[in-house]
């Protein structure tokens, strides 16, 4: 049986959410982080979509790694196999969102299919393998990463909503200030580094 | 080299792809969103410029609104009549459309004809210039010719002549009305495309003052009002106004206007011609002609005096046998 202690799972979770936050510490998934963070609502929707894709992708890639790649010794096929899994999942999520929430589908726009190429998802799945996590740890790591991503993008969207009405020098309006803000948030998250 | 080194990756990758593909095919049926095929058809019939002149964000949202019945089929000002008809035929209804309206600068006085009050050296923008004492033109109603409309036009239909006046090419204009909104002088109006006779002055001041300021201004003499055979010209605020529904482009006012404030090319005036083979000599045209240019009695050959004919095409419209051509 797998040897897992509750504390080690908690450490993985907290480390993925705060210490090694995918966006602010590992700098993965910057594209949707900047692209879909104008409104808290859409940012939250994006976060949920990424959460769904990340959780499912980690489980499936774990199985693929263990029962296809490791079994046949073709680990070099990892990247293409994982991308295949992620792309299919994103297609599925896109269909579900289009059916259930057309408004969210419209506001996410092109960034929804772009989760396919979102390096945060691929990065997560590959990290799972590199860290030699077992299936339970993988799931917790995925949830942590997804929550971390959602947390970062929702916080960032909230800040940007305020900045929209703030009196900002013309040269900094829009993306320049967004990038500076992202940098400051990243610095702030650096404060968690001693946590685990 | 072992053949299985190739076979296994191919099979595993292909197999995985097949499984996911099948799963997605199933899911796409389960989560299929029913899109009204009409929406796509309507969208294809639209110009696809996404200019937003209809009041919707783009052509596809306009198409949705049309199918939902929120907006009339002729709601696209850019496509004009042909698009409205295409959309109407898709929707299975008759299009009741007006003519395409094009933007027109209601001022023909460039810096040669209109006096300048001062030499403007500021930013080359009409809004900036008009903020400074209404611009350098002594006439406060005229085109400043600094190109604010040129910069908003999405299809480059506007150009500024060398003498600083904006000219809009009606064949390129897509009726998006962006220039109308951008012009700080409100000197751009929407005019039916086939309208050839247009009063090109907006100055509401008294005739004497207008005469001092501009050679092309409407001085309010009302000669055009009196001379119009169709009572199509009204007088309001010291300005003559043409009712485009009544106007027949007969160019009589263009000839009479003492200051050339009415635009129109007299050489383009059409002439009525009777096709004798079709004519049944009923004298209806003779009675309808406002300038008595048609001679003839019942059962006698009708003739049109081209010297008198003003090309108003009233006779052609009245003729029961379509025996009159406008050339």
Closest chain A residue by Cα to residue B21: A88
Provide CB contacts within 8 A for B249, sequence distance 6+.
Answer: B194, B195, B196, B197, B264, B269, B311, B312
Position A149 confidence tier, pLDDT thresholds 50, 70, 90: very high
Average per-residue pLDDT for chain B: 85
Lowest mean pLDDT among A109-113, B51-55, B153-157, B221-225: A109-113
Residues of A in contact with B26 (CB under 8 A): none
| Contact assignment for A85 to B16 by CB distance below 8 Å | yes
| Contact assignment for B8 to A72 by CB distance below 8 Å | yes
pLDDT digits (tens, 9 = 90+) for A74-98: 888 889 989 998 888 888 888 888 8
What is the rounded distance in angstroms from the CA atom of residue A180 to the CA atom of residue A175?
Answer: 9
Complex-level ipTM: 0.73
Kindly state the greatest CA–CA separation across chain A.
Answer: 61
Orientation of helix A135-165 relative to helix A40-64, angle to 10°: 160
Please tell me the distance in Å from A74's CA to the nearest CA on chain B. Answer: 7
pLDDT value at position A184? Answer: 94
Provide CB contacts within 8 A for A45, sequence distance 6+.
Answer: A97, A101, A104, A107, A108
What is the rounded distance in angstroms from the CA atom of residue A195 to the CA atom of residue A19?
Answer: 7
| Contact assignment for A99 to B12 by CB distance below 8 Å | no
Residues of B in contact with A85 (CB under 8 A): 16, 20
Mutate to test the interface with A, among B24, B28, B29 (most CBs of A within 10 A): B24
Position A140 confidence tier, pLDDT thresholds 50, 70, 90: very high
Torsion of CA A51, A60, B24, B14, to 10 degrees: 140
Q: Is B118 on the interface with A (CB under 8 A)?
A: no
Partner residue opposite B9 with nearest CB, options A74, A92, A102:
A74
Average per-residue pLDDT for chain A: 87
pLDDT value at position B188? Answer: 92
pLDDT digits (tens, 9 = 90+) for B189-237: 998 888 888 989 988 888 888 888 888 889 988 899 988 888 889 888 8
Please tell me the distance in Å from A81's CA to the nearest CA on chain B. Answer: 7
What is the rounded distance in angstroms from the CA atom of residue B135 to the CA atom of residue B146?
Answer: 10
Instruction: Check whether B249 has a pLDDT greater than 60.
Output: yes
Rg of chain B's alpha carbons, rounded to an integer? 29
| Contact assignment for A88 to B20 by CB distance below 8 Å | yes
| Contact assignment for B16 to A68 by CB distance below 8 Å | yes
Output the six-digit token pair for B260: 């050339």
Mutate to test the interface with A, among B5, B27, B35 (most CBs of A within 10 A): B27
The DSSP H or E segment spanning B180 is: helix B178-182
| Contact assignment for B13 to A99 by CB distance below 8 Å | no
Query: Average pLDDT of B248-258?
Result: 88
Count of A-B CB contacts under 8 Å = 43
Query: Judged by CB atoms within 8 Å, which residues 209-238 of B form the interface with A?
Result: none
The predicted model scores a pTM of 0.51
Burial of residue B35 (number of CB atoms within 10 Å: 0-12, 13-18, 19+):
exposed
SS3 at position B158: strand
Torsion of CA B284, B287, B293, B294, to 10 degrees: 40
pLDDT value at position A142? Answer: 93
Residues of B in contact with A80 (CB under 8 A): 13
**CA dist A37 → A114, A122, A144, A145, B274 (Å):** 15, 21, 20, 18, 72
């Amino acid at each position: 049986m797998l040897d897992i202690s509750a504390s080690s799972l908690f450490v993985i979770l907290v480390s993925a959410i705060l210490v090694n936050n995918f966006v602010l510490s590992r700098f993965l998934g910057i594209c949707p982080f900047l692209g879909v963070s104008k409104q808290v609502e859409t940012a939250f929707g994006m976060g949920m979509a990424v959460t769904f894709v990340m959780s499912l992708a980690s489980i499936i890639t774990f199985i693929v790694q263990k029962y296809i790649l490791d079994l046949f010794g073709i680990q070099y096929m990892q990247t293409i196999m994982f991308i295949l899994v992620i792309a299919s999942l994103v297609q599925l999520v896109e269909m579900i969102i289009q059916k259930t929430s057309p408004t969210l589908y419209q506001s996410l726009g092109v960034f929804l299919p772009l989760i396919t190429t979102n390096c945060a998802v691929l990065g997560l799945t590959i990290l799972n393998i590199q860290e030699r996590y077992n299936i339970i740890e993988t799931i917790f790591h995925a949830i942590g990463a997804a929550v971390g991503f959602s947390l970062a993008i929702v916080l960032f969207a909230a800040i940007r909503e305020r900045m929209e009405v703030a009196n900002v020098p013309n040269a900094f309006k829009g993306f320049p200030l967004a990038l500076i803000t992202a940098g400051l948030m990243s610095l702030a998250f650096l404060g968690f580094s001693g946590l685990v | 080299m072992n053949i299985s080194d190739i076979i296994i990756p191919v099979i595993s990758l292909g197999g995985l792809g097949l499984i996911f593909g099948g799963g997605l095919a199933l899911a796409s049926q389960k989560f299929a969103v029913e899109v009204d095929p009409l929406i796509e058809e309507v969208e294809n019939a639209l110009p696809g410029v996404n200019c937003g002149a209809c009041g919707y964000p783009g052509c596809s949202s306009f198409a949705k609104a049309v199918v939902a019945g929120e907006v009339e089929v002729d709601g696209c000002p850019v496509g004009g009549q042909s698009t409205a008809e295409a959309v109407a035929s898709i929707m299975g209804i008759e299009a009741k459309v007006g003519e395409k309206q094009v933007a027109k600068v209601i001022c023909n006085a460039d810096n040669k004809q209109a006096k300048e009050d001062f030499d403007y050296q500021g930013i080359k923008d009409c809004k900036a210039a008009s903020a400074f004492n209404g611009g350098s033109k002594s006439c406060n109603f005229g085109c400043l010719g600094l190109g604010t409309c040129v910069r908003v036009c999405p299809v480059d239909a506007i150009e500024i002549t060398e003498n600083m006046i904006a000219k809009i090419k009606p064949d390129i204009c897509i009726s998006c009305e962006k220039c109308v909104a951008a012009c700080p002088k409100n000197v751009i109006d929407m005019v039916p495309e086939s309208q050839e006779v247009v009063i090109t002055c907006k100055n509401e001041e008294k005739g004497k003052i207008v005469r001092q300021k501009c050679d092309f201004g409407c001085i309010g003499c009302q000669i055009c009002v009196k001379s119009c055979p169709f009572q199509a010209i009204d007088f309001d605020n010291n300005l003559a106004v043409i009712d485009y529904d009544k106007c027949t482009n007969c160019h009589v006012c263009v000839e009479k206007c003492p200051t050339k404030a009415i635009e129109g090319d007299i050489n383009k005036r059409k002439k009525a011609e009777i096709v004798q083979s079709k004519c049944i000599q009923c004298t209806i045209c003779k009675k309808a002609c406002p300038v008595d240019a048609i001679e003839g009695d019942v059962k006698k050959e009708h003739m049109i005096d081209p010297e008198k004919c003003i090309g108003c095409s009233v006779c052609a419209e009245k003729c029961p046998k379509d025996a009159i051509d406008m050339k």
